Amino acid sequence: MDMNLIPVLVTLSSYSRGERGEKEQPVKLMCRGKLRPTKDGCMLRYQEIQQDDSGETNVQDVILNIQTGDPCRVTMTRLGDYGTTMVFVKDRRFEGAYHTPFGDLMLALYAMQVQCRVEEDHGSIHLEYQLDMQGSYSAVQCIDVSFCAEGSEAC
């Protein structure tokens, strides 16, 4: 077992805004994860567990590499059948692919806000970005993630 891994509680909230600015109902999750400090930030790994409309449980492994320099940089890797890697740096565009069992979809994002705060046993990130799928505008996405060591006063 890696002794540098810190058990953390992770709170995630995400929502999207359509072309007219209408805000969708936010998705909120709480889960446990593992935090590993790095020389320029941290690596956070957790599992998103959600039930779809049919009652089937979906599990998605997520790894966030957070670099707190100027500018802040967040790399989000989603593992599994529906996997992707996205890189967020304010005012920069990233192009990649969203992998599905049915084929890959091209995606691009333009990061409008990327905020990172990492302390010894807690931290948070805020991401706001425009998402394009297959070359067409999809929505503006907002994601807030906070994490703190289990038992920490920061929780």
79 lies in a domain?
yes
CATH code, 126: 2.40.128.20
Residue 1 included in any domain: no
- Name the pLDDT band for 97 (thresholds 50, 70, 90): very high
Classify residue 125 by burial, with Cβ atoms within 10 Å: 0-12, 13-18, 19+. Answer: buried
pLDDT over threshold 80, residue 155: no
- Residue-number span of the structural domain to which 37 is assigned: 6-17+24-149
pLDDT, residue 80, reads 86
SS3 content of the chain, % helix, strand, coil (to 5): 0, 70, 30
Which of these, 125, 146, 143, 151, lies nearest to 6 by C-alpha position? 151
Q: Is 30 inside any structural domain?
A: yes
Is 82 contained in some domain? yes
**pLDDT, tens digit (0-9, with 9 covering 90-100), for 114-151:** 999 999 889 999 999 999 989 888 889 999 999 999 88
pLDDT over 90 for what percent of the chain? 67
Task: Please give the mean pLDDT across all residues of the chain.
Answer: 90
At 42-92, the pLDDT tens digits run 999 999 887 778 888 888 899 999 999 899 999 999 998 889 999 999 999
Q: Measured between alpha carbons, how far is 108 from 41 in angstroms, rounded to an integer? A: 25
Q: Is 155 within the bounds of a domain?
A: no
**Rounded to an integer, what distance in angstroms lies between the CA atom of residue 107 and that of residue 36?**
29
Q: Is residue 85 part of a domain?
A: yes
Q: Is residue 74 part of a domain?
A: yes
Task: Please give the model's pTM, rounded to 2 decimal places.
Answer: 0.89
Q: How many domains does the chain have?
A: 1
Distances (CA, A) of 134 to 96, 107, 118, 137, 147: 10, 6, 34, 9, 33
